[in-house]
Amino acid sequence: MARRPRAKTDDGHDRQRDAERTKARIVRAATDLFMALGPSGASLDDVSRKAGVARGLIYHYFKTKEALFEQVLARPLAELLEQHLAFLETRSLDVDGLRQGTEAFFRFLGRHPELVRLVGWTMAMRRFAGDVAQLEVTRALFARMVRRVEDAKAAGGLRADLDPRHLLVTILDLCVAWHLGRDEWCAKLAWQDRDLGELDEERLASILDFVSRAAAPSPAPPAPTPTAA
């Protein structure tokens, strides 16, 4: 019996799947190279060789190296956005909420060393730093967090003189800086033999202690002592 020809829609679906697989292969290759060499040190020729595709195909999908770099960051940043926006839907960013959000962010970075490493490269080389800062997901998440901190502050759940933006930037810096510089600190402080998981937990506890001290509202003044008649 003669085989039925495949429908054109099947051919279209096959081409789409092939294109998605090719793009994914390019992004994986770029992720490995950008982590190892930095976004400025890895060329598109390097990416094409590692991915096993023609250089022109990279331009077809991504146009520029900057666009490819943004795509490398897009997946972990999208996961971060989804996770934290879901958290913000259910939690106030009072002191307890800030502590929970900080812990979630710290552990997210531990699960995504590629994001930490790539952000570190952008900070060191500065060439792509603006691209990271201007990514829509980053702006949207930070703006939402600021609003929720302001809401908690207005409700009395945080210090009255707290600056939400500076507090959030400090928390982000503390978490990112640890994951970026942990190996260097281990060398400086002779912690090479320490268990890295234990060190992470100790550092997280220290950061959470800072959050509690920095954000907690001032206790109410004691009630005046009644005077004798």
User: Which residue segments constitute the domains of the chain, with CATH numbers given?
Assistant: 12-63 (1.10.10.60), 72-215 (1.10.357)
Kindly tell me the burial class for residue 186, based on how many C-beta atoms sit within 10 Å of its own C-beta (0-12, 13-18, 19 or more). Answer: middle
Cα separation, 172 vs 167, in Å, equals 9
The number of beta carbons lying within 10 Å of the beta carbon of residue 18 is: 10
What percent of the chain clears pLDDT 90, i.e. is strictly above it? 45
pLDDT exceeds cutoff 90 at 14 = no
pLDDT score for 87: 84
pLDDT score for 49: 94
Cα separation, 73 vs 132, in Å, equals 8
Cα separation, 19 vs 30, in Å, equals 16
Tokens 């507090």, located at residue = 167
pTM: 0.74
- Phi/psi for 28 (5° steps) reads -60, -45
Q: What is the pLDDT of residues 79-133, one digit of tens each?
A: 777 887 788 888 889 999 999 999 999 999 999 888 888 877 776 665 555 555 5
Between the ranges 33-37, 87-91, 140-144, 185-189, where is the mean pLDDT highest?
A: 185-189
Question: Residue 214 half-sphere exposure, CB side, CA atoms within 13 Å?
Answer: 17
126-141 burial, b at 16+ Cβ within 10 Å, e below that, comes to eebeeebeebebeeeb
pLDDT exceeds cutoff 70 at 158 = yes
pLDDT exceeds cutoff 80 at 134 = no
- Which helix (H) or strand (E) element contains residue 59? helix 55-62
- If one compares 6 and 51, the residue with the highest pLDDT of the two is 51
pLDDT score for 128: 55
Task: With beta carbons less than 8 A apart as the criterion, state whether 112 and 158 touch.
Answer: no
pLDDT score for 38: 80
pLDDT score for 100: 94
